[in-house]
């Protein structure tokens, strides 16, 4: 049935009414301004606004527009029943209310009645909501800022992106036409966040699985918050809209010209950093100033006005900014003395940024009310007065909540303070004698090693340095995550990061690389090109390397993982800190990974999608495979789309440096959409994972949508959230998590080839479980075919017709190219 | 003439501080034991499983010591890519390649039939695994399957184990000697 082209805004009740309507199969909205509700009495409905829906969308409204907290609970429980919720408590106690501390170890309960599983679920939900709030609040800030600065603008993603806000369409069932239209989506996100957070109060939700359903809902809201955020800035700042050939921009501490004043813009929200760039451009100051970004602000600054469209911002501004580095490099950067002023905005900013900068006479401008650092709010003061106070070091920093003024003050301060802080800059780093004297203080007590996240043996490095060997300081420089815990615990007060700086001074100077600027969404045309090979398995999968820089063994692993999969013909996409960190390496020809491969969404290509919020486009690409390639209606149809993706789109995310709660919300959001994620071993601190049991055939039953019959499938994908101990294990698991029941024999053979080949390369043997994924002789990798058939017969008892090269018995199911797996009974195609 | 003092062996009960100092989970924390006690407990176990990780590559002699334990009939779960070390030494008799995460996921269910299909394990012995990850997996077992005894014979004090050594991360010779004593106790 085609849904009426008129709908009504009933504030909070609207989506519930929609859902009720679907259950009754009796549309209540019949014409503009009047309607009936058959089974509701004494109900008053106030119509806030009547909005004429656009005419051109030929999709009927799906079953779940604006789903509420419990709307998609059935889908969540399907996920959780197959992928068992596994908790690894970081704390055996609960201290959230005055009854506590309560010991929950084992089967104990807290005074409120909560058990360990539910207590973990509650913390997971809180963590997911932290991430969701960060992205959504970022979107809310940009919404107001962009409308204030630019006015309302047409939401136009160009002629090659017609499915232009896939998450908004799938979750809300609406198509935004202007930036202002995203206000409705933001209001929806904010309401859901409030409802979810309320459930974490003592005496509210008490069942772990419902906590996880709520977390999955929070993750989905996070994905929508990210989409809103990135769509707003793409349009407002005319960023690339799916440009495979987005420009190469400079990255690395060495790219910042020390003959100029250097301003660092640090955080995630481009508003103030962009104003600094605009001020520099309008005042012809690029000869005097270099602007570098840290963390995702860096990526977004380098995307500004690269699309060549209409904009109120100077054209092609992005490449004039540089990427100083990912978040993990921040403290190393400060100690390297590469900056003269800092402007911080929001998210991922180290809490002691002011202290670090103050010690080195680097003025700090806080430009967003989420991070004010105890600084005086000088928003209403004149720029001249603020610059004077900062340049004369009367105050170490200021808060300026007007991005335009913050940008101007930051540039003027950087230029004016540079000569004044030259002496301080010199004094803030070690000379040779100071370096040696400091090394001599070490007593080899090893207290530092007890707190170092990647377990660097700092005392041993110092012992080597005393002998004149600085190599351990160099080889571990990229492994150090810059947390500074070693310095805090050192009884001798040795500033270990300053030792690192001294030992790596030349490296810092020469840290000069290229990174492809964030390209934004995947084009509809790209989806049309890769849809079939991806669903059939001939492109072995999409590998998404996502954000954050708390790596277990250094930044190089980003490059290694990306290169492994792009070389194998996977579609590799990257965002945030992982995109930045993988840029810091070159091949034998001196090319970074971005120069080695194309930037299209295609096999053997690697795309820099963009910043943290641009992760939404990875969700979006998966949705677009379902809607553009498979013609599924995405409109308000979340579980159907997620079901399609889980069964048919071979994709796997990896957050190898996952550190923040945003990483938790991002992973939870893609999990709800049916995409598995691999994370680094320290991610255990997030407490919750989703793991399948391959020994339980009943967990792997799906419906064949052709006739409604139940069919056992191979465990594909085997897990939804998997923690790997090493990069080698991560890569093997990622290859495995790209298997899907829909793979045809050629596709399965390609995927098995990579799975087995990675195992041979890094494990020295075939994996123990390869046979689980074999349905037909043609599924077997040619390289191993004979060996595998023999093993199937001898070890696993399969019966084989060797002459015909066929399995007589053994596989879980035969390969069947028209098999249509689904987890949703409503997808059964009814026979007439 | 006074008899010579009998050597007591390496003291593995010292330094019971979480290797990552802030890993203080709550009221129930591991106790440290001497190698011969742990060796005897492993020997007495009906269904032990030795779980080893990729840190063995940092101290390759440990592969040989683990193989020695394997040869005494204790099956080995080689997590991460540690199985490569066993492949290189030509020992795969009772070595299973499995990630620590899926392994622990299975271990927490009483109905899991083990890597060999013979039934759930009663004792797991962790060794050579990235500290924070091992700590989290031990926490899962501590809270969600208390029927499995959790032993760490790693060079770290593992707070979520039942039985562990104290920290020996910076005394490799003592640590090697402790493992040798444990193996000797198992052979008795």
Q: Do B136 and A764 touch (CB under 8 A)?
A: no
Q: Do B143 and A762 touch (CB under 8 A)?
A: no
Q: How high is the pLDDT of residue B8?
A: 76
Q: Do B81 and A729 touch (CB under 8 A)?
A: yes
Residue range A630-653: average pLDDT?
97
Chain A's closest residue to B143, CA to CA, is A106
Give the minimum alpha-carbon distance from B130 to chain A in angstroms, rounded to a whole number. 7
State the SS3 of A594-659. HHHCECCCCCCEEEEEECHHHHHHHHHHHHHHHHHHCCCCCCCCHHHHHHHHHHHCCEEEEECCCC
Phi/psi for A688 (5° steps) reads -125, 135
Q: Which residues of B touch A723 (CB under 8 A)?
A: 100-101, 133
For A716-754, write each residue's pLDDT tens digit. Answer: 999 999 999 999 999 999 999 999 999 999 999 999 999
Q: How close are the terminal C-alpha atoms of chain B, in Å?
A: 30
Q: Do A765 and B135 touch (CB under 8 A)?
A: no
Helix (H, G, I), strand (E, B) or coil at A134: helix
Could you give the CA distance from residue A36 to residue A288 in angstroms, rounded to a whole number?
68
Residues A343 and A466 reside in one and the same domain: no
Helix (H, G, I), strand (E, B) or coil at A160: coil
Q: How high is the pLDDT of residue A30?
A: 39
A422 CB-near residues (< 8 Å, 6+ apart): none
Residues A597 and A548 reside in one and the same domain: yes
Q: What is the dihedral of CA B136, B137, B139, B145, to 10 degrees?
A: 160
Give the minimum alpha-carbon distance from A91 to chain B in angstroms, rounded to a whole number. 4
Q: How would you classify the pairing of strands A341-344 and A83-87?
A: unpaired
Reported confidence tier of residue B20, pLDDT bands at 50, 70, 90: confident
What CATH code is carried by the domain that includes residue A561? 3.40.50.2030
Phi/psi for B160 (5° steps) reads -95, 5
Residues A23 and A112 reside in one and the same domain: no
Judged by average pLDDT, the poorest of A31-40, A725-734, B107-116 is A31-40
Q: Which of A453, A473, A450, A475 is nearest to A461 (CA)?
A: A473
Considering the entire predicted model, what is its pTM? Answer: 0.94
Q: Do B25 and A693 touch (CB under 8 A)?
A: no
Query: What stretch of H or E contains A677?
Result: strand A677-679
Helix (H, G, I), strand (E, B) or coil at A721: strand
For A254-271, write each residue's pLDDT tens digit. Answer: 999 999 999 999 999 999
Q: Report DSSP state, residue A338.
A: -
Residues A535 and A389 reside in one and the same domain: no
Residues A160 and A138 reside in one and the same domain: yes
Residue of A105, A554, A658, A679 to mutate for B, most B C-beta atoms under 10 A: A105
**Is A829 contained in some domain?**
no
Residues A618 and A662 reside in one and the same domain: yes
Reported confidence tier of residue A787, pLDDT bands at 50, 70, 90: very high
Q: Which of A295, A105, A310, A70 is nearest to A196 (CA)?
A: A70
| Beta strands in A96-222, from DSSP E residues, in sequence order | 102-103
| A291 within 8 A of A280, measured Cβ to Cβ | yes
pLDDT surpasses 60 at A10: no
Q: How high is the pLDDT of residue A41?
A: 52
Which of A91, A682, A728 lies closest to B81 in CB terms?
A: A728
Q: Which residues of B touch A84 (CB under 8 A)?
A: 105
Could you give the CA distance from residue A492 to residue A442 in angstroms, rounded to a whole number?
7
| A741 within 8 A of A682, measured Cβ to Cβ | no
Q: How high is the pLDDT of residue A666?
A: 98
Could you give the CA distance from residue A805 to residue A815 in angstroms, rounded to a whole number?
15
| A313 within 8 A of A237, measured Cβ to Cβ | yes
A204 burial (CB, 10 Å; 0-12 / 13-18 / 19+) is: exposed
**Is A791 contained in some domain?**
no
Could you give the CA distance from residue A619 to residue A645 in angstroms, rounded to a whole number?
10
Give the distance, in angstroms, between the CA of residue B12 and the centroid of all CA atoms in the same chain: 14
Q: How close are the terminal C-alpha atoms of chain A, in Å?
A: 18
Residues A437 and A420 reside in one and the same domain: no
Between CA A723 and CA B187, with CA B31 as vertex, the angle to 5 degrees is 85
Could you give the CA distance from residue A133 to residue A127 in angstroms, rounded to a whole number?
10
Structural domain ending residue among the three candidates A454, A485, A509: A509
Q: Do B53 and A764 touch (CB under 8 A)?
A: no
Q: How high is the pLDDT of residue A55?
A: 55
Q: Calculate the alpha carbon distances from A703 to A62, A78, A643, A790, A820 in Å.
A: 21, 13, 11, 32, 8
Which of A681, A694, A719 lies closest to B132 in CB terms?
A: A681
Reported confidence tier of residue A15, pLDDT bands at 50, 70, 90: very low
Give the minimum alpha-carbon distance from A80 to chain B in angstroms, rounded to a whole number. 14
Could you give the CA distance from residue A14 to residue A695 in angstroms, rounded to a whole number?
44
> Mean pLDDT for chain B?
95
Chain A's closest residue to B84, CA to CA, is A763
For B126-159, write each residue's pLDDT tens digit. Answer: 999 999 999 999 999 999 999 999 999 999 999 9
Which of B98, B129, B139 lies closest to A88 in CB terms?
A: B139
Q: How high is the pLDDT of residue A53?
A: 52
**Is A354 contained in some domain?**
yes
For A541-556, write each residue's pLDDT tens digit. Answer: 999 999 888 999 999 9
Give the minimum alpha-carbon distance from A757 to chain B in angstroms, rounded to a whole number. 14
Residues A46 and A175 reside in one and the same domain: no
> Mean pLDDT for chain A?
93
Structural domain for A92, as ranges:
73-234
Q: What is the number of helices (H) and of strands (E) in chain A?
A: 29, 27
Q: How high is the pLDDT of residue A547?
A: 80
**Is A378 contained in some domain?**
yes
Q: How high is the pLDDT of residue A720?
A: 98
Structure tokens at A577: 């800190």
Residue of A725, A733, A769, A770 to mutate for B, most B C-beta atoms under 10 A: A725
Q: Do A446 and B170 touch (CB under 8 A)?
A: yes
A–B: how many Cβ contacts below 8 A? 147
Residue range A95-114: average pLDDT?
96
Residue range A36-65: average pLDDT?
66
Structural domain ending residue among the three candidates A749, A773, A797: A773
Structure tokens at B73: 């009939």
Q: How high is the pLDDT of residue A45?
A: 53
Q: How high is the pLDDT of residue B5?
A: 55
Could you give the CA distance from residue A590 to residue A580 in angstroms, rounded to a whole number?
17
Residues A96 and A220 reside in one and the same domain: yes
A782 burial (CB, 10 Å; 0-12 / 13-18 / 19+) is: exposed
For A134-180, write each residue's pLDDT tens digit. Answer: 999 999 999 999 999 999 999 999 999 999 999 999 999 999 999 99
**Is A822 contained in some domain?**
no
Q: How high is the pLDDT of residue A22?
A: 44
DSSP lists the bridge partners of residue A291 as: A263
User: Model ipTM?
Assistant: 0.96
Residues A45 and A13 reside in one and the same domain: yes
Q: How high is the pLDDT of residue A20?
A: 45
Q: Do A728 and B54 touch (CB under 8 A)?
A: yes
DSSP string of A7-22? Answer: EEE-GGGHHHHHHHHH
Domains of chain B: 31-187 (3.40.50.1220)
Residue of A715, A763, A791 to mutate for B, most B C-beta atoms under 10 A: A763
Q: How high is the pLDDT of residue A57?
A: 87
Q: What is the dihedral of CA A244, A249, A253, A258, to 10 degrees?
A: 180
Which of A90, A117, A725 lies closest to B54 in CB terms?
A: A725
Structural domain ending residue among the three candidates A401, A427, A453: A427
- The structural domain count of chain A equals 5
pLDDT surpasses 90 at A802: yes
Q: Calculate the alpha carbon distances from A211 to A93, A126, B50, B57, B108 in Å.
A: 18, 10, 34, 40, 20
Give the minimum alpha-carbon distance from A113 to chain B in angstroms, rounded to a whole number. 16
What CATH code is carried by the domain that includes residue A122? 1.20.1270
Reported confidence tier of residue A39, pLDDT bands at 50, 70, 90: low
Residue range B166-178: average pLDDT?
96
Q: How high is the pLDDT of residue A25?
A: 40
Residue range A583-603: average pLDDT?
98
């Amino acid at each position: 049935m085609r849904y009426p082209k008129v709908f009504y805004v009933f504030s909070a009740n609207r989506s519930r009414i929609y859902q009720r309507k679907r259950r009754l199969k009796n549309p209540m909205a019949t014409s503009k301004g009047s309607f009936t509700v058959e089974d509701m009495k004494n109900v008053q409905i106030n119509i806030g606004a009547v909005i004429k829906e656009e005419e051109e969308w030929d999709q009927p409204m799906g079953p779940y527009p604006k789903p509420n907290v419990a709307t998609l609970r059935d889908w969540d429980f399907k996920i959780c029943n197959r992928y068992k919720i596994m908790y690894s408590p970081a704390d055996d106690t609960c201290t959230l209310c005055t009854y506590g501390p309560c010991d929950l170890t084992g089967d104990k309960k807290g005074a409120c009645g909560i058990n360990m599983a539910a207590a973990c679920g509650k913390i997971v939900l809180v963590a997911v909501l932290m991430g969701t709030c960060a992205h959504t609040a970022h979107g809310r800030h940009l919404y107001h800022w962009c409308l204030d600065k630019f006015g309302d603008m047409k939401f136009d993603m160009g002629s090659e992106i017609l499915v232009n806000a896939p998450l908004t369409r799938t979750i809300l069932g609406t198509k935004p036409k202007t930036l202002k239209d995203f206000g409705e989506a933001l209001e929806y996100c904010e309401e859901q966040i409030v409802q979810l957070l309320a459930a974490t109060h003592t005496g509210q939700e008490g069942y772990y699985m419902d906590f996880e359903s709520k977390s999955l809902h929070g993750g989905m809201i996070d994905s929508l918050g990210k989409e809103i955020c990135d769509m707003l800035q793409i349009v407002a700042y005319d960023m690339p809209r799916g440009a495979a050939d987005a420009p190469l921009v400079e990255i690395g501490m060495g790219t910042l010209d020390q003959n100029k004043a250097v301003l660092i813009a640090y955080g995630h929200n481009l508003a103030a950093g962009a104003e600094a760039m605009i001020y520099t451009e309008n005042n012809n100051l690029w000869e005097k100033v270099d602007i570098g970004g840290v963390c995702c602000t860096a990526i977004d600054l380098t995307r500004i006005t690269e699309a060549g469209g209409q904009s109120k911002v100077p054209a092609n501004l992005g490449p004039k900014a540089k990427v100083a580095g990912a978040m993990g490099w921040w403290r190393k950067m400060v100690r390297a003395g590469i900056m003269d002023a800092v402007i911080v905005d929001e998210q991922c900013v180290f809490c002691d940024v002011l202290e670090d900068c103050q010690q080195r006479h680097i003025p700090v401008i806080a430009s967003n009310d989420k991070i004010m650092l105890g600084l005086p709010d000088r928003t209403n003061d004149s720029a001249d007065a603020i610059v004077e106070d900062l340049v004369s070091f009367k105050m170490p920093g200021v808060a300026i909540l007007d991005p335009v003024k913050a940008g101007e003050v930051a540039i003027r301060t950087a230029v004016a303070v540079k000569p004044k802080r030259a002496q301080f800059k010199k004094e803030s780093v070690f000379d040779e004698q100071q370096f040696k004297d400091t090394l001599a203080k070490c007593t080899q007590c090893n207290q530092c090693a007890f707190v170092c996240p990647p377990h660097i043996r700092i005392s041993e490095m110092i012992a080597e340095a005393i002998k004149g060997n600085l190599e351990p300081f160099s080889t571990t420089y990229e492994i150090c995550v810059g947390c500074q815990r070693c310095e805090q615990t050192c009884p001798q007060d040795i500033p270990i990061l300053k030792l690192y700086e001294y030992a790596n001074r030349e490296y810092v100077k020469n840290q000069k690389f290229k990174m492809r600027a964030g390209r934004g969404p995947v084009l509809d045309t790209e989806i049309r090109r890769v849809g079939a090979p991806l669903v059939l398995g001939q492109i072995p999968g999409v590998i998404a390397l996502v954000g954050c820089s708390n790596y277990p063994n250094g930044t190089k692993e980003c490059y290694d993982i990306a290169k492994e999969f792009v070389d194998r013909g996977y579609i590799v996409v990257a965002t945030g800190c992982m995109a930045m960190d993988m840029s810091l390496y070159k091949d034998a020809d001196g090319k970074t990974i971005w120069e080695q491969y194309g930037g299209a969404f295609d096999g053997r290509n690697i795309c820099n999608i963009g910043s943290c919020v641009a992760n939404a486009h990875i969700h979006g690409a998966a949705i677009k495979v379902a809607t553009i390639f498979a013609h599924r209606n995405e409109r308000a149809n979340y579980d159907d789309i997620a079901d399609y993706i889980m069964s048919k789109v071979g994709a796997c995310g990896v957050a190898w440096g996952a550190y923040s709660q945003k990483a938790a919300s991002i992973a939870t959001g893609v999990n709800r959409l049916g995409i598995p994620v691999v994370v680094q071993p320290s991610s255990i601190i997030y407490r919750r994972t989703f793991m399948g049991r391959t020994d339980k055939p009943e967990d792997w039953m799906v419906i064949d949508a052709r006739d409604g019959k139940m069919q056992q499938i191979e465990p594909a994908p085997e897990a939804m959230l998997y923690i790997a101990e090493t990069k080698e294990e991560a890569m093997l698991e990622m290859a495995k998590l790209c298997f899907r029941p829909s793979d045809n024999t050629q596709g399965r053979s390609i995927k098995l080839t990579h799975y087995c080949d990675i195992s041979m390369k890094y494990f020295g043997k075939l994996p123990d479980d390869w046979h689980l994924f074999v349905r037909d002789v043609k599924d077997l990798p040619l390289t191993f075919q004979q060996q595998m058939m023999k093993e199937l017969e001898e070890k696993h008892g399969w019966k084989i017709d060797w002459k015909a090269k066929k399995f007589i018995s053994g596989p879980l199911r035969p390969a069947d190219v028209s098999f249509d797996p689904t987890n949703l009974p409503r997808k059964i195609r009814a026979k007439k | 003439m006074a008899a010579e003092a009998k050597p007591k062996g390496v003291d593995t009960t010292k330094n019971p501080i979480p290797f990552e100092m802030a890993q203080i989970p709550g009221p129930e924390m591991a106790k440290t034991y001497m190698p011969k006690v742990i060796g005897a407990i492993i020997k007495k176990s009906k269904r032990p499983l030795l779980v080893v990780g990729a840190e063995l590559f940092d101290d390759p002699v440990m592969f040989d010591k683990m193989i020695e334990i394997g040869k005494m009939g204790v099956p080995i779960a080689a997590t991460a890519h540690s199985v490569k070390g066993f492949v290189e030494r030509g020992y795969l008799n009772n070595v299973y390649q499995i990630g620590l995460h899926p392994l622990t996921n299975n271990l927490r269910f009483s109905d899991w039939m083990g890597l060999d299909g013979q039934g759930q394990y009663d004792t797991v012995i962790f060794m050579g695994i990235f500290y924070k990850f091992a700590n989290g997996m031990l926490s899962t077992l501590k809270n969600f399957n208390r029927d499995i005894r959790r032993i760490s014979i790693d060079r770290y004090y593992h707070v979520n184990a039942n039985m562990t050594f104290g920290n020996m991360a910076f005394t490799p010779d003592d640590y090697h000697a402790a493992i040798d004593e444990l193996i000797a106790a198992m052979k008795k």
